[in-house]
Every structure is written in structure tokens, then in C-alpha cells.
């Protein structure tokens, strides 16, 4: 089967799921008219939806891939305040953004005709369930708390969470974190009974690890005195003796979250529990604009405390608690199972059948999705290339210089100040949010000076720094896999690479009939990898030479930036592929139940046999580090770049 060039475009809906039905219906009519009209090449116009200033799908990458505006949770309100703006202005700014072809995404593997559909009209139209290393799919289906054989002072009662006043909690937290000069905190016992004193003792010890308590009489009144048993040592190793020996040190639980990414969720949980985020572990990061279900582990926090958060937090539910002796590690998962609804589809039944059969039988090109490369006029791969070239002035310039396109207002002012003065202190004053990459780099320049950019850049968290070079690696891979498919099509050829265990070997002439395209891998450039023995091997070398890099020497003088190589399959064939077309009248109703709906006993949505609209509900499982966006792109034949989506928004909104 020949590959199909990508020449259709996509339309993104900027409105949220709370829009009134009439407005939705009018706009759908406009979409329908657009898709019937088509473009100059006779292809239909594809439709997609997402918030204008976010990548189409965050997907479930198993690496932490923050963008240049990652902040602590306390900065979220400031960050979100200017997300909503005039769509036409945003579209004008996004003229400077990336398209798929800019990052090497240019091919399809299927021959069916594309059709339109609205992706993520509601975040509940995109549900992700994590698949653990044992192949078990994570589901939230149990709120009960495990009971220990050994009774333990750490297990809090319900009253524990309410017995302390907000002022008491604030004082105790400052004491716990050694933020003041006080050596103890006294809490008066208003209702002096043994039971009341016991509850206060329990509340302090449960909620503030590292503190001990005692009872004292002062002026005829009873006080609970909280104090540090061993100062900083107690903080580093909080009261191991209070945790039952028979219980595993880690509480594992299933986290169900809506419209929140994994790191934000961990930050929220840590703030409510008054612990550091680094005591949580997980196997993969999950999408924001979606409903996701994944396993989390936390060190020495009881299921009771975690279960209490279900009464305090919105858009989160915690359940399926168990105690184990191990944390979780990034990348340990087998993959993720997706349930996706594409609303208001225009494809015929035959087109849909062809598209879904092709997805199941052939699969899709395993491209790195658009979110890997950023949304502004300075792609993350350009910064990664400058790091690998050891061009640190270029790194600084790319991160801090003014750039056209969609950005927060304060970042624009910061960049303008930097361009005018090259003064880190002056530019930093323009940033109300200091946790972004720009703020961290400026702080580094203040600390180490303009002549030590390497050390200044090192202040940025390691994952953020490595994200840049991984983006460049992804950019190379996308371009090379497009070239490989263009040159040799969907068949294994002599000189291709395949994996034998963890080792890559070349496919020899006499063995080529024993392999299919699904066996072929391509290298992610780096040290200790081999390259195909055909034209694509030379193309890798040419692309790296053009970027002033040596394919045979990808080690960097700074160890962190030495690019380790790996191998990645060219074509991914999803597992457990199922689909159905459903009719609906109301765009606001859910089209399938979630785990929470089932747990709470909500009735199934009642859908008409014939409705105003049709939706494609699709399910499939993907391995780690693959992008659901790219699978959906293959089904609809659409361009997933924000630039293409927003350029059509303004036409559609008129």
C-alpha cells in the first residue's frame, strides 16, 4: 500500500463544554458547510477542538516534558487569567507557530479518504486508563480503606481532620518545617477530656510528621505541647517507629482526575497533606484536558488520610488503596488504554470502517506529536540543537529574546526588557511568576554572571533541560522516518534495522521476507547506536552535518547533555481496537460512562437511534511513549498543529 501525502487541514473549536446548545448547533452547521465545500485540492476540511493555547493532546508520555511556562501551583491563577482572549487575535499570533511539516510529520500509511470530527469537545470525551507492567488496566472501582491487623496511632479518625483550627495548623506547619524560632506550639484543650486530648495528640502526629506531643498544665488549663523530637533529623526521617512493621512503607492508590495534569495533581495532593511532592511516585505523566486513571504511590501516608481528600478536592478521586513495599518508577507501565469520542463526524459508514480497519490492521506512523516541540515561534528542538552544539549564547538568546506569537503578557514585557538592557535583574522584575524557565535562567545569570551561561542554565530543573535535547532528537527522528517511508514504503528492505532482544541488527538480503514493516525500527541519534545500511543511514549523517554535529561523536563535554541513542518502531499497531458510531442530539451529554459514574451508580446515557449528530467512539491500547494524537490523525487525515487549527478558527467564527 502506498503512503498518502498530508494535504488536508484541521479546524479547532475554541468553545468549552459549558457553551449553550444553540451556539454549538449554529457553529456545527458552519463546520458542516465548510467540510462539504472542501479545499482547493478537493480534500475535506478536518475539524478538531481544543483550548486555543494548549497543545492538542498532552497524551500520556512517560517522561516529564514541561514547557517553558511550568509553574508551581500557587501561580496557576495568574497563569490562567489571560488564557481566554479574542480567538482572532490568537489566530493572528499563531501565524508564527509550527505546522506538522515543520517537525517532519508529512506522511500517512492508509489509503482511505479523511473525514471530519470534533476531538475533545468535552474533556470527558478523552479518557485514559493506565496499563501496569503486569498488563492490568487501572480502574477506580473501590473507595474502601484497607484494615490493618495491627492498630496504629498513625491511622487518623475522621475527627482528626477537624479538631485543629486553621491557625493551629498554620503554626504547626511552620514549626514542622522549622520556619520560625519557636521550639514548640501550645494548643489549649477547650473541652478537657481524655478523649479530646487523645484526638488532638493523634491529629498533630498524623498531620505533621516529625512532631511529638505531650500534655502540660498551665495556670489551671490543659495544653497539648507540640515539639520537634529530633529537629531536622525528624523531618528527614519522620517517626518510622509509628508505622506498623507489618505494613508496606508505600500506600498505592488509583488517582482519577479530570482536566488536570499529573504534576499539578501531585502538587495539590502534597499541599493538602503538608508533605513534599517528591514522596509521590508514578509510572507515567497523563494528559490535562482529559479524564485519566493511573496508579500513584506515596511514602508513609495512610489510606485514611488519602481517602479524606475525596471530601476536600474537586476533580480528583482517590481509591483502590493498598500497602506495598516499593514505590513506582517512570516507564514501568506497559502502556495506556484510550477511550476517545470524535463528535459530529461527517464520514460515511464505509469511510469510518475503512479508517478503523486500517488503524487496527496497519496502524499509524509512530511520530512524536506536536506537543513535543512547543507552541511558540521558538521550537524547543532549536534550543536542544544549540545545547548539543555547545553554543551557549544561542541557548540564552533563544530562551530570552522577544518572539512573535502567543505568550503571556508578562513574558512579552520580560523579553522586551532583556532585549533592551541585557540586565537579568531588570528583566526578572518584569516577571510576577519566577518559576518559569525564563525566570530560572535569569536568576542563574544573576547568580553566576553573563560569562557563565552554562552554570546559569544549570539552575533550570534537569528534566526541563533534557526536554530540549530530547525534542531535537525527536525532530531528527520524525524527519528521518518520513524520508524512510517515502523512499521504501511500507515494507522491510535490506539494510533496515530490527530488534533482537535489546540489540539492533541489520536485516540482510536473504532474510527480508521474514520481516514486516512492524518489525522495523529507526535509531534516535546518539552514542552507541547503529544506523540503517541504505539511503536513510546517509540521510541521518547529512542532517547532523548540516547542524554542525558529528554523528559519530554525540557525547558532550557536560555529561548531562551527552545524547544517548535508542531505537523506536516506525509503525505502531494499536491493540484492543474497537469502535462504534452513536447518534446524539444534545452536545452537552456524555456519550459513555466513566469509572466515577459507575462507582456512583449514575445511569447510562440514553442515546437516540437517530439523532442530529453522529459520533465515533473508539478504543485502543498503545505502548509507552507513543502519541494517541498520531493515531487519531491517521483516522481523520488531519493536521494536528495549533497553527492550522487556529488559522481556520477565525473563518469559522465569522
Active site residues: 287
User: How far, in Å, CA of 302 to CA of 282, rounded?
Assistant: 17
Which residue, among 559, 536, 562, 531, has the nearest Cα to 549 in the 3D structure? 562
Residue partners of 30: CB distance under 8 A and separation at least 6:
652
Residue 241 sits at φ, ψ, to 5 deg, of -65, -20
User: How far, in Å, CA of 175 to CA of 173, rounded?
Assistant: 5
Q: How many CA atoms lie within 13 A of 392 on its CB side?
A: 15
CB of 336 closer than 8 Å to CB of 128: yes
Rg of the chain in Å (alpha carbons): 27
Q: Report the Cα 437 to chain-centroid distance in Å.
A: 17
Distances (CA, A) of 337 to 175, 286, 556, 628: 44, 12, 38, 10
Residue whose cell numbers read 479518557: 127
SS3 content of the chain, % helix, strand, coil (to 5): 40, 20, 45
- Beta strand pairing status for 291-299 and 126-131? parallel
Distances (CA, A) of 407 to 7, 260, 468: 29, 21, 19
Which residue, among 263, 312, 226, has the nearest Cα to 71 in the 3D structure? 263
Residue 601 burial (C-beta neighbours within 10 Å; 0-12, 13-18, 19+): exposed
CB of 562 closer than 8 Å to CB of 585: no
Residue whose cell numbers read 497543545: 55
The DSSP H or E segment spanning 134 is none
Residue 384 burial (C-beta neighbours within 10 Å; 0-12, 13-18, 19+): buried
CB of 48 closer than 8 Å to CB of 646: no
Distances (CA, A) of 354 to 251, 446, 573, 628, 640: 46, 59, 15, 19, 21
Task: Report the 10 Å Cβ neighbour count for 446.
Answer: 16
Q: Is 515 helix (H, G, I), strand (E, B) or coil?
A: coil
Q: Is 282 helix (H, G, I), strand (E, B) or coil?
A: strand
Q: Is 73 helix (H, G, I), strand (E, B) or coil?
A: helix
Instruction: Transcribe 343-397 into DSSP letters.
Output: ES----HHHHHHHHHHHHHT-EE-PPPGGGG-SSSS-HHHHHHHHHTT-HHHHHH
C-alpha cell at 191: 473541652
Which residue, among 46, 7, 630, has the nearest Cα to 371 in the 3D structure? 630
Ramachandran class of 74: left when φ > 0, alpha when ψ lies in -120 to 50, beta otherwise: alpha
Amino acid at each position: 500500500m502506498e503512503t498518502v501525502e498530508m494535504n488536508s487541514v484541521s479546524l479547532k473549536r475554541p468553545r468549552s463544554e459549558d457553551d449553550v446548545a444553540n451556539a454549538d448547533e449554529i457553529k456545527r452547521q458552519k463546520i458542516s458547510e465548510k467540510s462539504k465545500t472542501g479545499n482547493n485540492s478537493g480534500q475535506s476540511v478536518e475539524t478538531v477542538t481544543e483550548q486555543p493555547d494548549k497543545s492538542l493532546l498532552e497524551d500520556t508520555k512517560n517522561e516529564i516534558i514541561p514547557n517553558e511556562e511550568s509553574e508551581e501551583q500557587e501561580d496557576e491563577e495568574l497563569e490562567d487569567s489571560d488564557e481566554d482572549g479574542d480567538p482572532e487575535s490568537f489566530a493572528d499570533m499563531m501565524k508564527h507557530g509550527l505546522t506538522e511539516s515543520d517537525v517532519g510529520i508529512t506522511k500517512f500509511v492508509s489509503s482511505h479518504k479523511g473525514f471530519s470530527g470534533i476531538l475533545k469537545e468535552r474533556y470527558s470525551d478523552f479518557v485514559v486508563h493506565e496499563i501496569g507492567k503486569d498488563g492490568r488496566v487501572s480502574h477506580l472501582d473501590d473507595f474502601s480503606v484497607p484494615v490493618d491487623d495491627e492498630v496504629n496511632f498513625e491511622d487518623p479518625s475522621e475527627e482528626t481532620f477537624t479538631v485543629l483550627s486553621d491557625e493551629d495548623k498554620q503554626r504547626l506547619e511552620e514549626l514542622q518545617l522549622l520556619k520560625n524560632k519557636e521550639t514548640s506550639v501550645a494548643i489549649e484543650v477547650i473541652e478537657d477530656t481524655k478523649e479530646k486530648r487523645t484526638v488532638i495528640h493523634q491529629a498533630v502526629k498524623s498531620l505533621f510528621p516529625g512532631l511529638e506531643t505531650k500534655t502540660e498544665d498551665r495556670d489551671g488549663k490543659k495544653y497539648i505541647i507540640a515539639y520537634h523530637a529530633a529537629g531536622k533529623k525528624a523531618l528527614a526521617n519522620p517517626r518510622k517507629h509509628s508505622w506498623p512493621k507489618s505494613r508496606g512503607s508505600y500506600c498505592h492508590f488509583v488517582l482519577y482526575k479530570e482536566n488536570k495534569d499529573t504534576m499539578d495533581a501531585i502538587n495539590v495532593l502534597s499541599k493538602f497533606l503538608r508533605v513534599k511532592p517528591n514522596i509521590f511516585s508514578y509510572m507515567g505523566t497523563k494528559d490535562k484536558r482529559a479524564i485519566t486513571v493511573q496508579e500513584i504511590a506515596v511514602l508513609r501516608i495512610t489510606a485514611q488520610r488519602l481517602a479524606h481528600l475525596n471530601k476536600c478536592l474537586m476533580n480528583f478521586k482517590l481509591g483502590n488503596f493498598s500497602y506495598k513495599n516499593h514505590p513506582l518508577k517512570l516507564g514501568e507501565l506497559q502502556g495506556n488504554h484510550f477511550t476517545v469520542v470524535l463528535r459530529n463526524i461527517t464520514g460515511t459508514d464505509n469511510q469510518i470502517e475503512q479508517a478503523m480497519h486500517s488503524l487496527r490492521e496497519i496502524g499509524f506512523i509512530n511520530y512524536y506529536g506536536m506537543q513535543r516541540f512547543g507552541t511558540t515561534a521558538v521550537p524547543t528542538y532549536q534550543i536542544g540543537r544549540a545545547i548539543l552544539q555547545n553554543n551557549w549564547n544561542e541557548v540564552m538568546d533563544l530562551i530570552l529574546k522577544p518572539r512573535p506569537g502567543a505568550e503571556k503578557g508578562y513574558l512579552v514585557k520580560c523579553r522586551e526588557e532583556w532585549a533592551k538592557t541585557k540586565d537579568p535583574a531588570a528583566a526578572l522584575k518584569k516577571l510576577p511568576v519566577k518559576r518559569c524557565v525564563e525566570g530560572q535562567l535569569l536568576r542563574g545569570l544573576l547568580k553566576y554572571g553573563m560569562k557563565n551561561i552554562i552554570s546559569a542554565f544549570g539552575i533550570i530543573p534537569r528534566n526541563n533541560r533534557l526536554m530540549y535535547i530530547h525534542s531535537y532528537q525527536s525532530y531528527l527522528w520524525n524527519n528521518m522516518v518520513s524520508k524512510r517511508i517515502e523512499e521504501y514504503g511500507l515494507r522491510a528492505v535490506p539494510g533496515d534495522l530490527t530488534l533482537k532482544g535489546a540489540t539492533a541488527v541489520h536485516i540482510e538480503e536473504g532474510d527480508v521476507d521474514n520481516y514486516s514493516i512492524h518489525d522495523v525500527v529507526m535509531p534516535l541519534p546518539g552514542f552507541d547506536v547503529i544506523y540503517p545500511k541504505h539511503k536513510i543511514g546517509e540521510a541521518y549523517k547529512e542532517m547532523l552535518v548540516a547542524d554542525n554535529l558529528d554523528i559519530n561523536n554525540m557525547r558532550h563535554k557536560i555529561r548531562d547533555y551527552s545524547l544517548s541513542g535508542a531505537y523506536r518502531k516506525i509503525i505502531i499497531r494499536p491493540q484492543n481496537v474497537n469502535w462504534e458510531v452513536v447518534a446524539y442530539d444534545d452536545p452537552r451529554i456524555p456519550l459513555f460512562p466513566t469509572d466515577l459514574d459507575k462507582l456512583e451508580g449514575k445511569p447510562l446515557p440514553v442515546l437516540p437511534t437517530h439523532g442530529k449528530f453522529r459520533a465515533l467512539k473508539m478504543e485502543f491500547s498503545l505502548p509507552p511513549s507513543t502519541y494517541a494524537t498520531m493515531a487519531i490523525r491517521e483516522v481523520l487525515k488531519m493536521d494536528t498543529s495549533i497553527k492550522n487549527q487556529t488559522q481556520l478558527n477565525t473563518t469559522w467564527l465569522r
